Amino acid sequence: MQEYYFYLKLTHEQCLAYYEGEVEHIQVIEDGGKRIRFPAQHIRRFVSTIGISGRFRLQLDNNNRFIALEKVS
């Protein structure tokens, strides 16, 4: 299993495209500088009235398949 940590900050308006399915993937740069891309559907539960802001941990299996995304702060 692989774990990646990153900070994500999006306004509510920016989140709408992800939440409504217009955008299929989120691309972030994790703390080590690696670009990571994952399905946008996984951020939906973190969207609030102000958007998304926080530090996240993404877990992938050894074949780079999604396991979990959680907010850590």
Q: What is the DSSP letter of 45?
A: G
Say which CATH number the domain at 59 has: 2.40.50
**How far is Cα 73 from Cα 61, in angstroms, rounded to an integer?**
23
Cα 21 to chain centroid, rounded: 14
pTM, 2 dp: 0.86
What amino acid occupies position 9?
A: K
**How far is Cα 54 from Cα 10, in angstroms, rounded to an integer?**
10
pLDDT tens digits, one per residue of 5-49: 999 999 988 888 877 778 889 999 999 999 999 998 898 889 888
Structural domains in the chain (count) = 1
Residue reference for tokens 């690696």: 34
Query: Domain containing 13: what range?
Result: 2-71
pLDDT value, residue 10: 92
Annotate 8-37 with three-state secondary structure. EEECHHHHHHHHCCCCCEEEEECCCCCEEE
